[in-house]
Amino acid sequence: MPLFAFGSVPAAAQTPEPARIDNPVAVFSGLDKITGRLTEFDVFIDETVQFGALQVTPKVCKTSAEGQAARTDAFVEVDEITLDREIRRIFSGWMFAASPGLNAVEHPVYDVWLKSCKTESAVPAPAE
């Protein structure tokens, strides 16, 4: 009768996760549904940019290493400034550039989604 061991996987069967590259800049697209205006904007990691009544703060933006299947994702926090001037978190989670509709921020007036990550920006870097 065969004997099965549970709880351990042989080292040869484990596949290491491919290397991911941390990028200092996340690139977003934003749609103002009232005017129909589409805006692309760069945001440095841990900095906040305001798009309409939304404040967008990327915490990490990762891309695949060269030679790997293209994959770009970012952990993002989005807050809304209400009419009472209160700040309310409306999104906190991962966005995936390959699937913008999967985790895009959907707001009655604004939509925001991740487009890409990059290493530099024409926007000046925040003061340290």
Residue-wise pLDDT tens digits, 3-22: 555 555 555 556 566 678 89
Cα(118)–Cα(21) distance, integer angstroms: 10
Per-residue pLDDT, 115:
95
Share of the chain above pLDDT 90, in %: 62
Could you say which residues of the chain have pLDDT below 70? Answer: 1-18, 128
Cα(112)–Cα(70) distance, integer angstroms: 21
Residue 99 corresponds to which tokens in the numbers above? 């699937």
What pTM was estimated for this model as a whole?
0.80
Cα(36)–Cα(28) distance, integer angstroms: 16
Cα(85)–Cα(12) distance, integer angstroms: 56
Cα(first)–Cα(last) distance of the chain, in Å?
66
